[in-house]
Each structure stands twice: as C-alpha cells, then as structure tokens.
Amino acid sequence: MTPYLPREITSRLIQALERLPVVVLSGLRQTGKSTLLQREQAVAAGRAYHTMDDFALLAAARENPESLLKNAVILDEVQRCPEILLAIKKDVDGNRRPGRFLLSGSANLALLSHVSETLSGRAAYLTLQPMTRREIGGQTDKPPFITEFIQTQVLPHGKADPVTEQEVLAGGLPPACLGPADGLSEWFRGYVQTYVERDLRQLSQITDLIAFRTLAQLAALRTGQVLVISMLARDAKLNASTAGRYLDLLEASFLIRRLPPFLKNRSSRLIKSPKLYVTDSGIAAYLAGVDSLEPGQDDLLRGALFETYMAQNLFGLLEAYLPDAQLAFWHEQGRHEVDFVIEHKRKVMAVEVKAATRWNESDLSGLRAFKERTPACVAAILAYNGRDAVELDDKLFVIPQGHLLS
C-alpha cells in the first residue's frame, strides 16, 4: 500500500464532524476523497464505510435505505442514491448528534436542488480540491505561506523551487501527479471517458455527447479567460441555452469553476462577467491537446495553464485554511487586470501570475493600478517562476510561485 499523504482539508473536516450531524465532502472524481475517508484515522475511526459504486449495495440502499443508517457511517458516491437522503433527513430530525453521517460525492451536492433542500440546516459542505503542491510534497505540517503573508506581509527566506512544467501537466489528481510521468496522456484519456462522460450522463440527459466533449475542449482552451457564453456556444455549434446548461453540468461535476470579478473599488470600467477555469491543470492541458510547455510554442496557453495551476492551489489552500475568504479577479476593460484577488476580513491581496523565470517593470502595471484603486489592499504580488523574493515599494512585492505555494 502506498504511503498516505495528509490532506489540507482534514482539520476542517474533523471540526465539522464535531458540530453537525451531516457533513458532505464533495469534489472532482479522483481527487482522493475515498482515500481520505478510509485512511485518515481521525475520520474513519468508528464509522462503517459504504460506497454506492458497489452495485449490490446501491440496490440495497434504494430498496431499504434505513438499513445503512443504524450507526455512524460514511456513504461514498452518494449522488447515485438520492433515496437515502430522505432517510437521513428523517433520522437526523430524530437525533441531531454530531458526526453521524459523512457523505461524499463527485457531484457538487450543494448545487443539486434535491440534495440542498433535503439537508438544509442539517449539513456542512466541504470540497476536496485537487492536491496542492504542499500535499504532493508531504509538507502540510505547517501553515501555508500565503495565509500568513496576508496577515504579516513578511517576505520568505531563501530561494524557491520553481514550479516545473511537468507539475502543471500532471495537475493535482493523485493517480496523475503521484504516478509515472510517461503515462499521463493515457491516464487522462481513460479518466475523461470513464469518469467524466459517465458521471455527467448520470447527472443529466446529454443528447449530443460529441458536442458536449467539444464544449469541454473549448473550455480548456479558454481556461483563465473571461467567460463569454455566446462565443463559446458559437464555436461549439450550440445554442446559448444548451451551452449554458452544459457549462452548469461541468461546474456541478467540478470539472470547471467560474471565478467572480472583484467589484469593490473605484473603477467604472470593470468587467462583470466571470472568468472560466478548468479545475485541474492536468485535465486542462489534456483537453487542450497540450503535452509540452516549452517556452515559445504557445505562450498564451502556456501562461494560462500555469495560471490554472495557481488557481487550483489557491482554491485548495483557502478552502482548508481561510474558508471565509473570497477569491476573485480584477479587470478594467482595455486597461489593467489582475489574475487573482483574495479578500479576507477587510484585507485584500492581489496576485498576478507570470510563467517566466524573469520579470520586468511592465509586468507590474495591473498590480500598481489595483493598489491605487483599492484602499483595503495590503499586498500586491507578482508571482513569477523564479527563485528570489523582493519588496519593491509600499505593498508591492515580487514573490516566486514556489514560495507562494509553500
């Protein structure tokens, strides 16, 4: 058995189990939910584990859901058995003892109306993101740098290890990022066919799987860009309504996410549409047909994939350590933009991602503009892929991605 790598979300998961009778852990297929539920001792101890991927168990749960609810239990892939949710609701209404039911699924159960309505007021919802760089390296024994920096603005010491192209291509799904590098393309091909297409067809009727797959590929080619559904629909040869429904399905299954704009400063030219990100940089690269990130081949897409890798790490760190923080982007049409804005307890931090190992003054223009327009900004960071951190002037920093994700 391979060694278990602790996940950043574990402490929040344990705290939720101590407070509420139902805890729901969702996330993209193969992010490691089942491994966490079975191998994290503080979570697994005293709870029977059942997965609805077991067809015999699924049939029994549909026939007699109460039979699985006699003791504290973990129910995996629970989106396959909506019938059991009503039984859980009835059981919890009679006994609200914390930690009784730990549910897991690869669909965003909070977005599925029949689930959120059934468990309203009874459940905490957490998301297991793709593995962070810290998790992959087994370095989760100390608080992450970024959550400390938003409080202190103290620069890191020493030189950083740059993010490699292979890390971006592998992403954060454990079989890909912890497995052999030479089998990535085959693994992602099987992943998309076996999990994504099967799971999505179970969530909703998809009448044209080819058009749906085309839309997913086009979304990957636009990762890190402002989402314009009409243009995406046109390129996928779908009407806007169908394209919007397919995007909702991709989001409900955690394959994509929409990043909202930051609108809390003094500009009237702010773009108000969300940005689109594929949740995992490895999936994004595979769907976009990218198997190499050598500089000079397609620098725009290369930069977008590094930005996607940063996004998946930021979401993972904030979900685990600053769950009340808001992650957004900032874009003044025709003028300036900043890739990520983190807002937490009246403090705002801006992060601009640069895939290159060197930086120049022009890379700072968006950060300077944001800092000037946002009084609550405590730090504006150019996250480049070099090794040295430097403070340029008041609240303006250049910090290696390797430090920012440590």
> For the purposes of burial, counting CB atoms within 10 Å of the CB of 2, is it exposed (0-12), middle (13-18) or buried (19 or more)?
exposed
What domains, with CATH codes, occur in the chain? 10-127 (3.40.50.300), 133-404 (no CATH)
pLDDT digits (tens, 9 = 90+) for 292-308: 998 877 889 999 999 99
Average pLDDT score over residue span 15-25: 96
pLDDT of 90 higher than 60:
yes
Q: Which of 300, 264, 305, 265 is nearest to 284 (CA)?
A: 305
CA within 13 Å, CB half, 166:
9
Q: Which of 97, 100, 123, 93 is nearest to 110 (CA)?
A: 123
Confidence of residue 270 (pLDDT cuts 50, 70, 90): confident
**Backbone torsion region of residue 224, taken as left when φ is above 0, otherwise alpha when ψ lies between -120 and 50, otherwise beta:** left
| Whether the Cβ atoms of residue 40 and residue 10 lie closer than 8 Å to each other | yes
How far, in Å, CA of 37 to CA of 44, rounded? 6
Three-point CA angle 343, 353, 361, nearest 5°: 105
What is the Cα Rg of the chain in Å?
21
How far, in Å, CA of 320 to CA of 25, rounded? 12
Confidence of residue 138 (pLDDT cuts 50, 70, 90): very high
Confidence of residue 114 (pLDDT cuts 50, 70, 90): low
| Whether the Cβ atoms of residue 191 and residue 29 lie closer than 8 Å to each other | yes
Longest dimension (CA), the chain: 66
| Whether the Cβ atoms of residue 171 and residue 281 lie closer than 8 Å to each other | yes
- Flag the least confident range among 106-110, 179-183, 229-233, 245-249: 106-110
pTM comes to 0.94
The kind and range of the H/E element at 304 are helix 299-321
How far, in Å, CA of 129 to CA of 174, rounded? 11
How far, in Å, CA of 209 to CA of 229, rounded? 19
| Amino acid letter, 297 | Q
| Whether the Cβ atoms of residue 105 and residue 77 lie closer than 8 Å to each other | yes
| Whether the Cβ atoms of residue 354 and residue 162 lie closer than 8 Å to each other | no
Q: What percent of the chain has pLDDT over 70?
A: 95
Confidence of residue 339 (pLDDT cuts 50, 70, 90): very high
